[in-house]
Amino acid sequence: MVIVLNSSSTPEQIEKLKQELENFGCSVWPTYGKFQTILGIVGDTGKLDRDYLLSKPFVEKVLSVQEPYKKVNRTFHPENTLINVGQQTIGGNQVAVIAGPCSVESPEQIVSIARQVKSAGAGFLRGGAFKPRSSPYSFQGLQQEGLELLKQAREATGLPVVTEIMSIKQLENHHEDIDIIQIGARNMQNFDLLKAAGQIAKPILLKRGQSATIEELLMAAEYIMAGGNENVILCERGIRTFETYTRNTLDLSAVLAIKRLSHLPVIVDPSHAAGLWWMVEALSKAAVAVGADGLIIEVHQDPGNARCDGQQSIKPDRFAALMKSLREIAHIDNRTL
Amino acid sequence: MVIVLNSSSTPEQIEKLKQELENFGCSVWPTYGKFQTILGIVGDTGKLDRDYLLSKPFVEKVLSVQEPYKKVNRTFHPENTLINVGQQTIGGNQVAVIAGPCSVESPEQIVSIARQVKSAGAGFLRGGAFKPRSSPYSFQGLQQEGLELLKQAREATGLPVVTEIMSIKQLENHHEDIDIIQIGARNMQNFDLLKAAGQIAKPILLKRGQSATIEELLMAAEYIMAGGNENVILCERGIRTFETYTRNTLDLSAVLAIKRLSHLPVIVDPSHAAGLWWMVEALSKAAVAVGADGLIIEVHQDPGNARCDGQQSIKPDRFAALMKSLREIAHIDNRTL
Amino acid sequence: MVIVLNSSSTPEQIEKLKQELENFGCSVWPTYGKFQTILGIVGDTGKLDRDYLLSKPFVEKVLSVQEPYKKVNRTFHPENTLINVGQQTIGGNQVAVIAGPCSVESPEQIVSIARQVKSAGAGFLRGGAFKPRSSPYSFQGLQQEGLELLKQAREATGLPVVTEIMSIKQLENHHEDIDIIQIGARNMQNFDLLKAAGQIAKPILLKRGQSATIEELLMAAEYIMAGGNENVILCERGIRTFETYTRNTLDLSAVLAIKRLSHLPVIVDPSHAAGLWWMVEALSKAAVAVGADGLIIEVHQDPGNARCDGQQSIKPDRFAALMKSLREIAHIDNRTL
Amino acid sequence: MVIVLNSSSTPEQIEKLKQELENFGCSVWPTYGKFQTILGIVGDTGKLDRDYLLSKPFVEKVLSVQEPYKKVNRTFHPENTLINVGQQTIGGNQVAVIAGPCSVESPEQIVSIARQVKSAGAGFLRGGAFKPRSSPYSFQGLQQEGLELLKQAREATGLPVVTEIMSIKQLENHHEDIDIIQIGARNMQNFDLLKAAGQIAKPILLKRGQSATIEELLMAAEYIMAGGNENVILCERGIRTFETYTRNTLDLSAVLAIKRLSHLPVIVDPSHAAGLWWMVEALSKAAVAVGADGLIIEVHQDPGNARCDGQQSIKPDRFAALMKSLREIAHIDNRTL
């Protein structure tokens, strides 16, 4: 950490601050310039509170040198984390593909889509039971019934199921029924939910909030890992920008940044990022080409009559064709899919 | 609502869609252009699902004409909503000032600040007991003990207390102890929490998410009102932009937009928006000048030793001086403070 | 175009507006709702001025149905535009690769890089002579001397040269020496420069401004085409967002959007988007996978001693290895590179 | 400046870099941590090239401690710069008000508005002759004829005139006719134009680009001042964000930041920021309350028939009423208007 002092700082203030920092177990190396004094701080700077330092009137800036996350940090855990789900692994050489409808609608719908995405090569089934909707008047998902249908689809196909929970109560009641628990973009900084997710043993798929920086996403993952659950899969799903042609702007550079900063696997959701079904295939290819560990794609037999997000879902036959292209791209980097 | 069809649309598809829309109780007025057909839809378009319409391959665009919120909408409720808290009113001719520390730290701290902000003219005491922090390793607030201290400060001064809750459980356990319940920016789209807030009788201070549009903020308020709680106070607290000099960019135009679109009162939080104590006074003046119904300001006796957000807190004497200027600005618009 | 009138509008005002619009050659189809009247307008709406309509007190909103650009619009020109440069074509089945240093530094440097990128398979040489720098104290390029060196490199290798001009005077003086003239992101809305570029016969590489919407980029291209120069190549080079890990956020969805909206070719600049050399290879692969018509990549023999942008340049040997991967990805879509 | 080295850095590399930095006249103070070495650099760090440093493979981050601008910097010029225009001063105790139509349309229009804004107390007349328009098919201003009409209005009222130029040629041909030369938001990083503006003696009103950071705005001003023209007035006119209710988001915090970082005066343009006439009055009040040195406001007698930007113009009588309120707010801070 680097603390920049302004020209009003006195030798006494500097000495006092120095001792305070040393009491935290840090060592302090000052640099004296004409207009500014700079303090280089090394040691366990994670305990220092940036806001506390900034509140001192003679402190001009506090510049972070070390990342604020520990368990998530690749520096202290150089190898990729591999997450086992049933007999599959996410984060290794195999690109994980999660596919299925936005929301579970009926037994026929979910079982039939599950069979189709499985035969096209998907490894996991997605389907929403509890749906976060921007309007209180929109369809909110089949709730518990939706979960039961997901279990039927799992039984019918063997595909592990991925579904979102939105509250601590849902997490407590249902985590045993779900193979990968999704925490959605809107709840990325719902810290009490993150803490609760840290207490359970299931893998968590944590989506990037639409205005979350990469660092904030990693800090949200740190909340889960600090609680004891080390099975966190990160998901880039588009960020909010000034461009409105797409619903959000897919940030594929974030995949590269996250893989450099952290050992956790990262997958991409092109369906929610673009919000436009005709972009999903090309963006999926780009995501595999950039090196993502997996994809989560919305597939629906009849998007024009889907109960939600039909405009961003592709049909099973297009999905099957897409899987072939994705496999070829994965092979170029010696990966499988 | 306006639906733009692309050139691939056939007369049969148009007719079928028209009937479908009429079955929802809407009437449909087509406009036939050379390259496009436009359908003007009037009636109860609130039941129509934009995503569903967009998923049809012959639909090019869906343009909203009516706002998606009802109870929040000024069109159907032209007068300002007045919210009574104890013997005070928010949303009327009196500018409400909520002041106090970021977090409750000790009985002496909170009671003494409460006395000071009261004597300067503040009408409400703020203070955090449950703190949302971006790091799991940062101070998380005194929790329940903090609430007890807030109650002591209320007893000592008579000031109603404003504090944040972060989960349904906290809401259920503590809402009776709090005069105005804050739902923070990070939880603005925690829909389960919003629904729970709709079930209680206390006023809710709902902060705009840092990447929430004005419409999304109003839809979040609609969730609370749809549940039956009509006492919602909105709060502009800065939005995330590319500019990093301030923590967020205070959007004072949003105050004007919200007051035009909705009948709910709207207050401004300059402390969290800027994140810089030396901007708080000038931004507070601007917020009153622009017509906000109130302010929420962080005040601390010793910001350099505050346990959180010291860098954005002002001292009680500056707060007292600020109150004088604010009063003069309020008078220009025939308001009191 | 759709005009939404508010409830204050009178039948007389509506009739008067209707006639005014009809005088512009449009036909007007009204929809009468309970709270609003909606006017559907078809015909030559391009002549209507949105701002003018919005300034009428009884007009609530003006919603655009048709795109404001004509010559750029794929609707009126369904086939892809192919742009010929020497014996090569941009926009067709061959992915164009433009490579070279940020700035021309010396004859040895530029000729040697030109030879290396050519032997790796690049089709065009980039190199800056006039450099837009955010500081007036930074190296501003070798100016005219730089252009001479580019010509030497062209002579030595046969590669057409791509370089930026920043003013009308530079355009007038030097356009004959340049094969593809770049207009940089900062000048995307320098309308006088765009008009001047419309008067010459050389292909223009128009970069998206860092806060330009896709529509604004297409309108900037429309300025050039309206002047008579139809050889415009668009370039996505990252947009400014709240994320600061990368210099800008590469928006690969924009490639898909632009190709749907326009017939012009679109290439991608991963070097400027990320600003980090170690991201360039993966982002280049993603750009080809998403379907871009080409790439512009910064290559330097000794990035650690480059006079500008060294941190985003890759070395010739990495570039050569990258070209192999790109070729394989292009083949998956039956393209060459 | 602080350079953070990664763990791959060797003692030899560090020593070599240290000497290189010392050759630039800087002194280097290292801090050795467990995972990182930090170099504190003081002295004339303005000559160091951040990109150059970042391109070295063993450099992890470069953190700026000092601002990159010199002439603009308040550190080296603590007093406010006062800019004299005729018998008036901008940047002092008097709040400057510039008012007039978006574009000059006719002699009657401009002279009559000039008289009205003068009688309401405005000190300067604005009016566009050369108009930057996003569409090549929109009205581009009366050009030279517009300038002549502005001169007539100046003659009739004595008000100095403020108008935008868009190219070096316009600057060269017309700067003598203009009292304050505006460089618009779209040209804020048209560096050749900035350099040309540095060569003339007239005050420059430099508008913030819609995606320009505060630092970039100050660097653009540095370009002008480095050329020798020290009469620069900065203008906050809204930034591009995700919020689309207003055309841009007015960033009043930027006024405070700029006044702390620089000695140059800063004014606010509420008309272009909001793009909505009914917000202009409240935002103008907020701008004076926050401490801006002036305002630039669009006023038109008949906004419904203005040739551009009618939707953001207020009528002369509202302008006159607004001036009274602004005067009262200015008095609270002991300023005049």
**Environment class of residue B89 by beta-carbon count within 10 Å: exposed (0-12), middle (13-18) or buried (19+)?**
middle
The answer to whether the beta carbons of residues C101 and C300 sit under 8 Å apart is yes
Q: Is the pLDDT of residue A202 over 80?
A: yes
Report the C-alpha gap between D324 and B47 in whole angstroms. 47
**B302 Cβ under 8 Å from any chain D Cβ:** no
Which residues in chain C have Cβ-Cβ distances shorter than 8 Å to A273?
253
Closest CA to D308 of D133, D146, D144: D133
* pLDDT-derived band at C235, boundaries 50, 70, 90: very high
> Which residues 258-287 of chain B have a CB within 8 Å of chain D?
260, 273-274, 278-279, 282-283, 285-287
Q: What is the pLDDT of residue C69?
A: 92
Closest residue of D to C303, CA-based?
A: D55
What amino acid is encoded at B316 in this protein? Answer: P
Q: What is the pLDDT of residue B305?
A: 78
Which residues in chain B have Cβ-Cβ distances shorter than 8 Å to D332?
285, 325, 328-329
Residues 6 or more apart whose CB falls under 8 angstroms from that of A50 comprise A62, A64
Report the C-alpha gap between B215 and B230 in whole angstroms. 18
Which residues in chain C have Cβ-Cβ distances shorter than 8 Å to A253?
245-246, 249-250, 273-274, 279, 283
* pLDDT-derived band at D79, boundaries 50, 70, 90: very high
Q: What is the pLDDT of residue C274?
A: 95
Higher model confidence: residue B193 or residue D29? B193
Three-state SS annotation for B147-207? HHHHHHHHHHHCCCEEEECCCHHHHHHHHHHCCEEEECHHHCCCHHHHHHHCCCCCCEEEE
**B44 Cβ under 8 Å from any chain C Cβ:** no
Instruction: Kindly determine whether residue C135 and residue D222, on different chains, have CB atoms separated by under 8 Å.
Output: yes
Report the C-alpha gap between D327 and D333 in whole angstroms. 10
Q: What is the pLDDT of residue D157?
A: 97
Give A82-86's long-range contacts (Cβ < 8 A, gap of 24+): A82/A265, A83/A203, A83/A231, A83/A232, A83/A233, A83/A265, A85/A124, A85/A160, A85/A179, A85/A180, A85/A203, A86/A160, A86/A179
Q: Is the pLDDT of residue C55 over 90?
A: no
Superfamily name and number for D74-332: Aldolase class I (3.20.20.70)
Which residues in chain A have Cβ-Cβ distances shorter than 8 Å to D240?
242
Question: What digits encode the pLDDT tens for the residues D294-311?
Answer: 999 999 988 877 777 778
Instruction: Kindly determine whether residue B133 and residue A54, on different chains, have CB atoms separated by under 8 Å.
Output: no
Q: What is the pLDDT of residue D304?
A: 77
Q: Which residue has the tokens 């009618």?
A: D310
Can you tell me whether residue D305 is helix, strand or coil?
helix
Report the C-alpha gap between D207 and D163 in whole angstroms. 12
Q: What is the pLDDT of residue A129?
A: 95
- CA of B327 to nearest chain A CA: how many angstroms apart? 28
Closest residue of D to A62, CA-based?
A: D65
Q: What is the pLDDT of residue B56?
A: 85
Closest CA to C260 of D307, A276, B299: A276
Radius of gyration of chain D (CA): 23
Report the C-alpha gap between C231 and C203 in whole angstroms. 5
- In this structure, the strands spanning B88-90 and B83-85 are antiparallel
Q: What is the pLDDT of residue A176?
A: 95
Closest residue of D to B247, CA-based?
A: D253
Q: Is the pLDDT of residue D56 over 90?
A: no
Q: What is the pLDDT of residue D77?
A: 93
> Which residues 97-156 of chain A have a CB within 8 Å of chain D?
none
Q: What is the pLDDT of residue C305?
A: 78
Structure letter (DSSP) for residue B240: -
CA–CA distances in Å: residue C231 to residues C225, C264, C293, D326, D333: 8, 8, 14, 52, 57
Closest residue of B to D243, CA-based?
A: B213
What amino acid is encoded at D142 in this protein? Answer: L
Q: What is the pLDDT of residue B67?
A: 84
Can you tell me whether residue C44 is helix, strand or coil?
coil
Vertex C259: Cα angle to C266 and A314 (nearest 5): 130
Strand partners, C73: C262
**B84 Cβ under 8 Å from any chain A Cβ:** no
**A42 Cβ under 8 Å from any chain D Cβ:** yes
The answer to whether the beta carbons of residues B236 and B208 sit under 8 Å apart is yes
Can you tell me whether residue A14 is helix, strand or coil?
helix
Question: What digits encode the pLDDT tens for the residues B238-262?
Answer: 999 999 999 999 999 999 999 999 9
Q: What is the pLDDT of residue B44?
A: 76
- CA of B26 to nearest chain D CA: how many angstroms apart? 27
Three-state SS annotation for B93-125? CECEEEEECCECCCHHHHHHHHHHHHHHCCCEE
Q: What is the pLDDT of residue A229?
A: 97
Strands in chain B per DSSP E: 2-5, 26-32, 37-43, 59-63, 83-85, 88-90, 96-100, 124-126, 161-164, 180-183, 204-207, 232-236, 266-268, 294-298
Alpha-helix residue ranges (DSSP H) falling in A75-213? 107-120, 144-157, 168-174, 191-197
Q: Is the pLDDT of residue C298 over 90?
A: yes
DSSP string, A265-284: -EEE-HHHHH--HHHHHHHH
What stretch of H or E contains A310? none
Higher model confidence: residue C46 or residue C237? C237
Higher model confidence: residue C138 or residue C220? C220
What amino acid is encoded at D186 in this protein? Answer: R
The answer to whether the beta carbons of residues D235 and D187 sit under 8 Å apart is no
Q: Is the pLDDT of residue B308 over 80?
A: no
Which residues in chain C have Cβ-Cβ distances shorter than 8 Å to D55?
277, 303-306, 309-311, 313
Higher model confidence: residue D182 or residue A68? D182
**C6 Cβ under 8 Å from any chain B Cβ:** no
CB atoms within 10 A of CB A227: 16
Q: What is the pLDDT of residue A147?
A: 97
Can you tell me whether residue C253 is helix, strand or coil?
helix
- CA of C337 to nearest chain B CA: how many angstroms apart? 33
Tell me the domain boundaries of chain C: 2-63, 74-332
CA–CA distances in Å: residue B2 to residues A102, B63, C62, C123: 25, 5, 12, 47
Closest residue of B to D283, CA-based?
A: B290
Sign for the pseudo-dihedral over CA of A275, A280, A284, A290: negative
Find chains touching chain A: ≥3 CB pairs under 8 Å.
Answer: B, C, D
Judged by average pLDDT, the poorest of A20-24, A239-243, C219-223, D285-289 is: A20-24
- In this structure, the strands spanning A37-43 and A2-5 are antiparallel
The gap between the terminal CA atoms of chain B, to the nearest Å, is: 42
CB atoms within 10 A of CB C236: 26
What amino acid is encoded at B263 in this protein? Answer: H
| Range ranked top by mean pLDDT from A9-13, B122-126, C41-45 | B122-126
Instruction: Kindly determine whether residue A137 and residue B46, on different chains, have CB atoms separated by under 8 Å.
Output: yes
The answer to whether the beta carbons of residues D223 and C136 sit under 8 Å apart is yes
Q: Is the pLDDT of residue D284 over 90?
A: yes
The gap between the terminal CA atoms of chain A, to the nearest Å, is: 42
Judged by average pLDDT, the poorest of A54-58, C235-239, D13-17 is: A54-58
Task: Region of D225 please: left (phi>0), alpha (psi -120 to 50) or beta.
Answer: alpha
The answer to whether the beta carbons of residues A18 and A28 sit under 8 Å apart is yes
> Which two tokens mark A79?
């190898």
CA–CA distances in Å: residue B256 to residues A177, B75, C190, D299: 47, 15, 33, 20
- Write down the mean pLDDT value for chain C: 93
Closest residue of D to B273, CA-based?
A: D253
C-D contacts at Cβ under 8 angstroms: 127
Find chains touching chain C: ≥3 CB pairs under 8 Å.
Answer: A, B, D
**Which of C51, C227, C240 is the closest to D308 by Cβ?**
C51
- CA of B256 to nearest chain D CA: how many angstroms apart? 7
> Which numeric CATH code is attached to C2-63?
3.30.70.1140
Torsions phi, psi of B300, nearest 5?
-145, 140
Helices and strands: H and E segment counts in chain A: 11, 14
Instruction: Kindly determine whether residue D253 and residue B239, on different chains, have CB atoms separated by under 8 Å.
Output: no
Report the C-alpha gap between A251 and A243 in whole angstroms. 13
Instruction: Kindly determine whether residue D253 and residue B249, on different chains, have CB atoms separated by under 8 Å.
Output: yes
- Write down the mean pLDDT value for chain A: 93
- CA of C250 to nearest chain A CA: how many angstroms apart? 7
Q: Is the pLDDT of residue B104 over 90?
A: yes
**D195 Cβ under 8 Å from any chain C Cβ:** yes
Averaged pLDDT, B146-166: 97
* pLDDT-derived band at A319, boundaries 50, 70, 90: very high
Helices A277-290 and C277-290 cross at an angle (nearest 10°) of 140
DSSP string, C265-312: -EEE-HHHHH--HHHHHHHHHHHHHHT-SEEEEEB-S-GGG-SS-GGG
- CA of C189 to nearest chain D CA: how many angstroms apart? 6
**Which of C215, C243, C289 is the closest to A214 by Cβ?**
C243
CA–CA distances in Å: residue A316 to residues A302, A311, A329, C15, C267: 9, 14, 20, 51, 31
* pLDDT-derived band at B27, boundaries 50, 70, 90: confident
The answer to whether the beta carbons of residues B164 and B188 sit under 8 Å apart is no
Q: In a mutagenesis test of the C interface, which of B26, B42, B50 is the best target, namely the one with the most C β-carbons within 10 Å?
A: B42
The answer to whether the beta carbons of residues C50 and C19 sit under 8 Å apart is no
Judged by average pLDDT, the poorest of A314-323, B127-136, D45-54, D324-333 is: D45-54
Report the C-alpha gap between C129 and C148 in whole angstroms. 9
Question: What digits encode the pLDDT tens for the residues B116-127?
Answer: 999 999 999 999
What amino acid is encoded at A261 in this protein? Answer: L
Averaged pLDDT, A134-161: 94
**Which of D239, D279, D289 is the closest to B285 by Cβ?**
D289
Strand partners, B29: B40
Instruction: Give me the half-sphere count of Cα atoms (radius 13 Å) on the Cβ side of residue D25.
Output: 6
Q: Which residue has the tokens 């001792």?
A: A19
CA–CA distances in Å: residue A244 to residues A109, B41, B256, C257, D242: 32, 23, 23, 11, 8
Report the C-alpha gap between D135 and D172 in whole angstroms. 26
**C34 Cβ under 8 Å from any chain B Cβ:** yes
